[in-house]
Structures are given as structure tokens and as C-alpha cells.
Amino acid sequence: MTPLTFAMEDIIKAEGVDYSQFSSQNKKTIASAAATVTSVKAVLDTPILTDSGALTEESVDIIKRIE
């Protein structure tokens, strides 16, 4: 996430905060950062193992979505 955070900071410094005015490449960078954060958040919020040590159904679903 650190490289994406720095990239977003550079974009905001160069183009301001109006997303509609960003270049298409910078919009892709912002979208990539948002997708990465969304994926990480979903993984962190999902129980990985059951009490018996098996993968939970939720974690299997998350793995399929991320792939």
C-alpha cells in the first residue's frame, strides 16, 4: 500500500482533489489503490479458520473473489 499511497499523494499535489479532472492514467492509479484497500479490508474482516482449524466458507468465498 505504501507505493500506492505515495502515488496518490503525488497525483493530488499535481492535479488537485477533483477526480473528474485527473488524467486517465491517474484515475487508474486511484482505482487500483481503492481496489487494493477494498481487498485488504475484506480479507481482514473475514474469519479465516473455524474452531477446528478448517477454512471457513467466508474465507473460501473471499479467495475466489480476489482471484
pLDDT of 65 > 90? The answer is no
pTM above 0.85, yes or no: no
User: Where residue 59 falls among pLDDT bands split at 50, 70, 90?
Assistant: confident
Count of helices and strands (H, E) across the chain: 3, 0
pLDDT in tens, 1-37: 899 999 999 999 999 999 999 999 999 999 999 999 9
**Buried-state track 12-34, b at ≥16 Cβ within 10 A, e below 16:** eeeeeeeeeebeeebeebbeebe
